[in-house]
Structures are given as C-alpha cells and as structure tokens.
Amino acid sequence: MLGTWATAGALPAAAAPDPSPAAAGAPASAGLLAAMQRDFGLTEAQAEQRLATEKKATAVEPEARKAAGAAFGGSWLDAKTGKLTVAVTDGSAAAAEAVRATGAAVRTVEHSAKELDAVKARIDKLSAPAGVGSWHVDPRANTVVVNVVEGQRSDNDVQAFVSRARAAGPVTVEETPEAPRTFAAGTVGGDPYYTGNVRCSIGFSVHGGFVTAGHCGGAGQGVSGWDRSYIGNFQGSSFPENDYAWVNVGSGWWTVPVVLGWGTVSDQLVRGSNEAPIGASICRSGSTTHWHCGTVLAKNETVNYSQGAVRQMTKTSVCAEPGDSGGSFISGDQAQGVTSGGWGNCSTGGETWHQPINEILNRYGLTLHTA
C-alpha cells in the first residue's frame, strides 16, 4: 500500500521507504526522465540535456538579475537556444553588458519588472468578476496579461474590469478555455490523505510534517492517511488570498525527502528548492493522476477562484484533476510548489497553478526535508 499513499514521503511506522532514487549527483531519477520523455516527446539524452540546461539557467538567474539592477525587466528560459534570457529596459547599455557577462542573453524592453509589478498590484486591488480567470506579468511580452474565460469577453462586468485594468498600465487580454477551480475531491478509498470527506495530496516533507494546499483543510482539523490512521493536524492554513498549509506528523508516522512515483515511475529525491525560470520543465505528482510534466508558463499570477482570489501563484502547462490538490511540483530534484488548481484534465489537457514552496516555508518558518 506504500505506493498508493504519499507524494511527500510521510510513511506509517509499519512501512519501510523504498524510493529507488537516482544516485547522488545524477540529474534526475529514471522515472522523472521517463515522464519528461512521455510528456515532451524527448529522447532520454534530450531529457538529460534539458535538465542540465535548466539547472544552469536556474543558477545564473539570481546573478543576472543582480547585474541588471533597476533595468531588470524579467527573465525566462528559451527552450530553443537553451539560454536564460533577461529583459533590460531601453537605454541601459551598461546593464545589458553586465547581464551578458553572466552568460545570459539580453532582450531590450520598454518597461521594467518593477513597473509591471506595480501595474499588477493596482489590478490586484480591483474586484474581479467570475468571467476573469487570472492575471500576471508576462516578461516576454513586457505587459500584464489578463486572462478572460472563453465566451465571457462581452460580459459587462468583464468589460468594466478590463477597462479599469488597462487604466492601470500596459495590459494585454487573452482568453482561457475554462474558469479556474481547485482540485480537492470527495472521499475515495485508498488514496493519500483525508480531512473529513475531502481527499488531497501531500506536497513536500518538512521537518516535523508536510506542506500542502490551504483549501484542503483549516487550522486545527485532523488529517488521516491512506489507511485512515491518524497523522496529525493542520498547524496553519490560508485560503483564499493564499493557498498553502502545513500538517504536523506524529503518531508513528515520519517524513522522508522523496516525491513518490506511484509505481509508474521511479521515485525522486528532493535536494533543494531553487526556483526554476519561466520556460523550464516541471513535473507534478498527485494522488489522482500521478506523474505529469509540462513547462512553467508564468509567475506571480493572481488566480480568481470562485472562493476568492489567490495571489503569487505559478502557472504551468501541467494537467491535474480533483484529488491532486496539495501535491508536489518538482523541477529536476528541486521542489517548486504545491498544487492549487487549474482548468482542464489529464485526458484533454489543461493548465495548473502551484503555490511556490519557498513562500510557504518562509511563511511558517519551516525547513524543507532534503536528501
């Protein structure tokens, strides 16, 4: 039953972890490589090369951001060239040269990241109607993108929201096929953890417990595992505005730094939480749909769920379904975040948001359990 329970690696005392992880220093487990080959149409060698490229870009990004200074306009990974691209504002030749010296490519743009973040912050203060799905800063387009649910663009409330958003600064309107929703589910026997009649997925082990999605349970609520034995309680939970929570682990349960592969792929060791850039590959593990991969599409996106807006989310092209909420998003061996919600499914495709892991760790003063 071990493979049917945990995505973060908390195990009942009667079970023994059998993660079959990649060897220390290897770029990824065989399972992660297999998932990337399946979802990206890559060979094993191409998947390994992509992970190596993304690891380098992730390491370069903080240095390039610092080099750009006030001229920084955002960054993303160009999958075709394999290089991190950094936007700098017009007239910043010195900043551009400093960025190039880090090994990153440079694109000149009109607006700085600080300016665009300020535009998004002004839009965050607006009350969004149900026909508006989300909004985020797009560094490649150098604008704030407002996503309107397909077929709702002519709605009076949507038009009024878009007009107010445009007044805040540079805005581009795009359409999304469906309204965003969270991915909690009703009770299904044998799956990872339960809060009442809600089933969700564990995200990542932290010292003393695990992190997951806030909409899965409120502070103080009890949590049981796949075998319905008691694990612990929600020690902190925030939803909406945020979508994160953490649960303490006790009563004979413990934590390990592993994201499980559900018997479909090999399990993956978690070695850190360096944030992958836009354009990087990312994979998700959840109790309903198991392993799926995609790319990072946007960061710091505000998502307008029916329960209320959730801010600072990362959007991906990875699919998910009810019950996957709270599960692990990982890039290579680096933890990225916990599954919140999205649209679509894993039969026809869709998009999914996660709440970044480092925000959760900082909010609750937690330490990620790493290998």
202 pLDDT band (50/70/90 cuts)?
very high
Q: What residues contact 325, with CB distance under 8 A and at least 6 apart?
A: 182, 183, 184, 185, 200, 201, 212, 213, 215, 216, 286, 339, 340, 341
What tokens does 241 get?
Answer: 């505005």
Catalytic residue among 238, 273, 285, 325: 325
Encode pLDDT of 294-311 as tens digits: 999 999 999 999 999 999
Q: Is the pLDDT of residue 24 over 90?
A: no
Instruction: Select which of 215, 290, 292, 369 is catalytic.
Output: 215
What is the secondary structure of 290-323 as a DSSP string? Answer: EEEEEEEEEEEEEEEETTEEEEEEEEES----TT
The mean pLDDT value for 169-178 works out to 97
Provide the pLDDT for residue 265.
Answer: 66
How far apart CA 93 and CA 111 sit, in angstroms, is 15
**In the predicted structure, residue 16 carries a pLDDT above the cut 50:** no
User: What is the mean predicted confidence (pLDDT) over 122-150?
Assistant: 97
**pLDDT score at 193:** 94
Active site residue: 39, 243, 267, 324, which one? 243
Confidence of residue 251 (pLDDT cuts 50, 70, 90): confident
C-alpha R_g of the chain = 20
Q: Does the active-site annotation cover 328? A: no
The pair of structure tokens assigned to 7 is 């995505």
User: In this predicted structure, what is the pLDDT of residue 15?
Assistant: 26
The token duo for 80 is 């075709």
Looking at the predicted structure, is the pLDDT value of residue 190 above 50? no
Contact 330, 282 (CB under 8 A): yes
User: Of all residues in the chain, what percent carry a pLDDT higher than 70?
Assistant: 89
Residues 44-97 have pLDDT tens digits of 999 999 999 999 999 999 999 999 999 999 999 998 888 999 999 988 899 999
Name the most confidently modeled range: 16-20, 224-228, 299-303: 299-303
Instruction: Categorize the per-residue pLDDT at 25 as very low, low, confident or very high, splitting at 50, 70 and 90.
Output: very low
Averaged over 359-367, what is the pLDDT?
98
Do the beta carbons of residue 201 and residue 368 sit within 8 Å? no
> If you average pLDDT over every residue of the chain, what do you get?
89
78 is an active site residue: no
The stretch 318-345 carries a mean pLDDT of 95
326 C-beta neighbours (distance < 10 Å), count: 37
From residue 339, how far is each of 54, 209, 348, 349, 353 by CA, in Å? 21, 17, 19, 16, 6
C-alpha atoms less than 13 angstroms from C-alpha of 26 in its C-beta half-sphere: 14
d(Cα 108, Cα 90) in Å, to the nearest integer? Answer: 6
Is 325 part of the annotated catalytic residue set? yes
